[in-house]
Amino acid sequence: MKKRKKFIPHLLIAILSLIGFFLFINIFDPKNVFDVFFFKLPAIIIFFFLVFLFFGGLFIFILANTRRGILIGLFLVCFLLLQYLHYNNLFYTLILVAIILLTEIMFWKRT
């Protein structure tokens, strides 16, 4: 029988990013801009990064598959980004689902 990899660190990342996510939305204003070195980083980018870490880590732990967890996390962040930009059409969601499915098939055929 194949030995299962340990995905507990991914669950820990998901829990820590969820705590960071809740702290971030309670402390910072969405229009806030952070100065990181010579770049101005909007708060919304950090928001989407924390959402990706949470959903990616959670689905990696649930599915016990790193690739699929990252793809589902990426799908959810892209879907939320489309909603944020007011692209609420069903067509955009279907295109996003098709892109994620084709990416999964591409990696599945390769291995």
**Tens of each residue's pLDDT in the chain, 111 residues:** 566 667 788 888 899 999 999 998 899 888 888 888 888 889 899 899 999 999 999 998 888 888 999 999 999 999 999 999 999 899 999 999 999 999 999 988 876
Q: If we measure between CA atoms, which residue out of 67, 69, 5 comes closest to residue 77?
A: 69
The pLDDT score that the predictor gives to residue 38 is: 85
For the whole model, what pTM was predicted?
0.85
The pLDDT score that the predictor gives to residue 1 is: 56
Q: With contact defined as beta carbons under 8 Å apart, do 67 and 107 qualify? A: yes
Q: Supply 70's token pair.
A: 């990252």
Q: With contact defined as beta carbons under 8 Å apart, do 13 and 53 qualify? A: yes
